[in-house]
Amino acid sequence: MWLLLQKTQYIVLSNTITAFLTSFVLPYLYAAWGAEDTDELLRILEENDVKATFFLCGYWVEKYPDEVKKIAEGGHDLGNHSATHPHMSQISSEQIAQELQKCHQNVKDLTGVEMDLFRPPFGEYDNHVIETAEANGYYTIQWDVDTLEIKNTYSPI
């Protein structure tokens, strides 16, 4: 699960979108493989009046359904990060659609939310990934600051 923070204005990411933030950016990666920090993270966001977009992997949604509900109930946006976190540019359009639809349906069943943002795993995308996502009702976005992929080389804003 990836976290994109927003405060008051529009957010713009990477070459696909660009971000304008008014107050502060709290760079944070919420790990897709655990949920032990969810309550603390949601508390910090609420205390600072920050709404975020959480990019959810389907396997995380299945493993932590109560956390997904808490995030949605907190008024945060939910975005699709695929069902199984594959290298999207290396799979067929049909497989991409299945990845998107499975995660989408799981989130919708839990929260009623119809997600429309997609952040490709590993930041990998090409035209067929973007076109397939669009055909499935998704707007593909990218990040400005890398997190997990560069691990210990990240320096805060």
Q: Tens digits of per-residue pLDDT, 27-70?
A: 333 445 678 888 988 998 898 888 888 889 999 999 999 999 99
Closest CA to 111 of 43, 154, 61, 38: 61
Confirm whether pTM is higher than 0.85: no
User: How far is Cα 28 from Cα 15, in angstroms, rounded to an integer?
Assistant: 20
In tens, the pLDDT along 77-121 reads 999 999 999 999 999 999 999 999 999 999 999 999 999 999 999
Q: Where are the domains of the chain?
A: 2-153
Q: Which tokens belong to 125?
A: 């995308």
> Does the domain formed by 2-153 have CATH 3.20.20.370?
yes
